[in-house]
Homo-oligomer: A and B are copies of this chain.
Amino acid sequence: MAQVKRTPLADQAADLLLERIRSGEWALGERLPGETTLAPQLGVGRSTVREAIRQLAGRGVLASRQGAGVFVTALDAPEDWDAIVRRSDILAVIEARIAIEGEAAALAAERRTPGELRAVRRALGQRAERRSELAAHVDADTAFHRSVVAAAQNPILAELFDGFTPRLREAMIEMLRNRGVFGDDADHEAHARLVEAIADRDPDRARALSRAHLRALAETLEGIGGR
């Protein structure tokens, strides 16, 4: 049964506009119809149109100049992770995480400072607290993985991780909701072992543990069908 999906009108309006922009209705640098024209055309109020435009402006697609109008500044949002992640197999996403996090875990084991190790341990501890709230659970899990990546002291890896991981939040929560509680203890156990390897400065073990952990996640999710 498909759950009803309530999307704010402003978001829908933004999607519609982006679609029309991509379709080439307005060329690069061209001016869009005025807000007062667009509003009845889309069947929404002017403020809603303005919010949709602002949203696209934030993504660099549109730019508005007072008194002049709204102009197209880009035909496509650069690296739209939302769209890419949405149409990708969940397995592909986890494979990417394996690539990034496996390497990051190994580097973290080599280079972690005492402070970073403390941060990782703190993230591990916070994770165990509340396992009722789904969203909190996912956030805590993400925070732990993020702390490991941070300990690798590699800004590129951190950027890659931050780039698309936040987009997984909704999908993960959704998946947990459909499946119920998932490997709480097993997960925490795996995390704890990973922390040990990092503390022991054992890169190979850290890499292997990180990979195994994510691989297990992939297999779990595959069993319940991840799109």
Binding site for B on A (CB under 8 A): 6, 8, 10, 14, 28-29, 47, 50-52, 54-60, 66, 73-76, 78-79, 81-82, 84-85, 87-88, 92-93, 95-96, 98-100, 102-104, 107, 135, 139, 143, 154-157, 159-160, 162-164, 166-167, 169
Contacts and interface: CB of A to CB of B under 8 A. Distances in A.
B166 A96 contact: no
Given A50-B51, A66-B8, A163-B163, A156 B96 contact: yes
B154 A96 contact: yes
B54 A92 contact: no
13 contacts: A8-B66, A54-B58, A55-B55, A55-B57, A55-B58, A58-B59, A73-B169, A84-B159, A92-B154, A92-B157, A95-B157, A96-B157, A163-B163
Copies in the complex: 2
A168 to B, nearest CB: 11
A-B pairs, 6 with minimum CB distance:
A58-B58, A99-B103, A55-B58, A96-B156, A54-B54, A29-B139
A166 B72 CA distance: 10
A141 to B, nearest CB: 12
Contacts of A102: 99, 103
A156 B88 contact: yes
